[in-house]
Amino acid sequence: MTLLIEDTARNVLASWGGAAVAAGLATGAVISPFSTPRQHAGYKQSAQETVDRLKAEGAEVWFDPETHALQMPAVGDFRYYDDWPLWDGPRGQLTSHAEMRGHVERVFGEQDGLGVPHLAPTVLLHSAQSPASRQALDLARVAVEVDSACRLAIAGDSAFWSSGLTLDAHVGGLAQLEGGGWWLTVVRNFNVLPVPAMPEEVHGVCRTVRAFSEDGTVHVSHGDLAGLPAIAASATTLGTGWDPRQRVSCYGSYEARAPGDGGQWFSQATLEGLLSLMSRADASLLEQRDPTLSNRLLPGTVPPGANEAFIHHVDVLSRVVADLRGRAHRDAYQALADRYNAAQADWLSVAAAIGSRSRADTWISPLHDGLHRYGQTEGF
């Protein structure tokens, strides 16, 4: 259990994602009604074809309804979404118990049709104490009424995950439902890497993961490198992919797009020793100027293209996840803290080698600070 490959606007989830699973670098994949059409559409395969191809490679496949995206500002990419029969009434209408139940039953019905496990919908939260948080709890309760073993979801922005006592109380309410595992998402304003994580947000995610992990599996959707503290706190899997929109859940990923707007392929290099990405130009410069350091940090050579960069990324990420998951709580915390300490030191060497500045302040420090707060809470 290491990584789930998130859905993407590109048409390579089954091929690239399936290859990662077949190579033992990922556990499975996630399809989304915003990215995968229910029926074959243009260059995009149908959801069922995608699921079947992924399963043929041994993948665990999930359908994330991403209902929480409907509350994002400027959500507008409904090219595929509206072909999915997920609503009795108007899209996003979840006021009454009947509307909640209707949506949950339709989501579970689609998941049954695809032959994937039940993952409940949720709503986006900016606060853990609000009418919306009450709605999220009610929606989760309805989901458990329909299927007591369904996996439950929480989606919130940085303010939500940073909200301390109120977050803990909200999570306590959800824990009473005793669902069949958890699916957590940190939603961000911008699609940038490194994500602008806040230490208290990381602390909140870690506390929540630690609490839920005592009773079931916990997936950190779109978690990627920023989700490693959650793995140290006993999360089961991280979401990732080849595009930034698979590595970050953000508002921009759900905005209306011009037809054919696929964007550039993403080919930044992932350096295991830095737990960071680096542009291919910088990574190549480091490889040229200090091949020993480059080989130790990558490890290996700079991937030449997008597919190779993806395979290298999931190779690195799955190795780190497997290492952390193989440890007891305190050891996992310490192992990641040691990696962050080493990365901060190595960033200085890298900066000196390529004549740049250390990027540890954005790639490492917020996550390390959040992990440290989690360690203090746990008494490590």
C-beta closer to another protein: residue 118 or 207: 207
When asked if residue 134 is in the footprint of another protein (CB under 8 A), the reply is yes
When asked if residue 328 is in the footprint of another protein (CB under 8 A), the reply is no
Dihedral in degrees, nearest 10, Cα atoms 338, 339, 343, 346: 70
Q: Minimum distance between the CB of residue 178 and another protein, rounded to whole angstroms? A: 7
The only residue of 36, 45, 133, 318 in contact with another protein, by rule CB under 8 A: 133
Task: Give residues 156-185 in contact with another protein (rule: CB under 8 A).
Answer: 165-166, 168-176, 178
When asked if residue 330 is in the footprint of another protein (CB under 8 A), the reply is no
Q: Minimum distance between the CB of residue 311 and another protein, rounded to whole angstroms? A: 37
The number of beta carbons lying within 10 Å of the beta carbon of residue 73 is: 9
Report the distance separating Cα 87 and Cα 97, nearest Å: 13
Q: Which of 70, 59, 68, 147 has the alpha carbon at shortest distance from 104?
A: 147
Q: Which of 103, 104, 117 has the alpha carbon at shortest distance from 29?
A: 117
C-beta closer to another protein: residue 31 or 174: 174
When asked if residue 337 is in the footprint of another protein (CB under 8 A), the reply is no
The size of the interface with another protein (CB under 8 A), counted in residues, is 26
Looking at 213-328, list the stretches that DSSP marks H as alpha helix, in order from N- to C-terminal side.
228-232, 244-247, 280-289, 291-297, 306-325
When asked if residue 129 is in the footprint of another protein (CB under 8 A), the reply is yes
The only residue of 38, 53, 103, 207 in contact with another protein, by rule CB under 8 A: 207
How many angstroms separate the Cα of 66 from the Cα of each of 51, 231, 250? 17, 22, 12
Interior/surface letters 33-47, b for 16+ CB within 10 angstroms, e for the rest = bbbbbbeeeeebbbb
Two structure tokens written together for 224: 């990627």
When asked if residue 136 is in the footprint of another protein (CB under 8 A), the reply is yes
When asked if residue 44 is in the footprint of another protein (CB under 8 A), the reply is no
The residues pairing with 221 across neighbouring beta strands, listed in sequence order, are 185
Q: Minimum distance between the CB of residue 377 and another protein, rounded to whole angstroms? A: 8
The only residue of 14, 94, 211, 225 in contact with another protein, by rule CB under 8 A: 211
Task: Decide if 239 contacts 202 (C-beta within 8 A).
Answer: no
Which range touches another protein (CB under 8 A), out of 193-201, 204-212, 216-224, 363-371? 204-212
The contacts of residue 54 (CB under 8 Å, 6+ apart) are 13, 14, 17, 18, 21, 28, 29, 61
Q: Minimum distance between the CB of residue 165 and another protein, rounded to whole angstroms? A: 5
Give the SS3 label for residue 220.
strand
Terminal-to-terminal C-alpha distance of the chain: 26
C-beta closer to another protein: residue 133 or 294: 133
When asked if residue 217 is in the footprint of another protein (CB under 8 A), the reply is no
C-beta closer to another protein: residue 128 or 220: 128
When asked if residue 203 is in the footprint of another protein (CB under 8 A), the reply is no
Q: Which residues bind another protein (CB under 8 A)?
A: 128-131, 133-134, 136-137, 165-166, 168-176, 178, 207-208, 210-212, 214
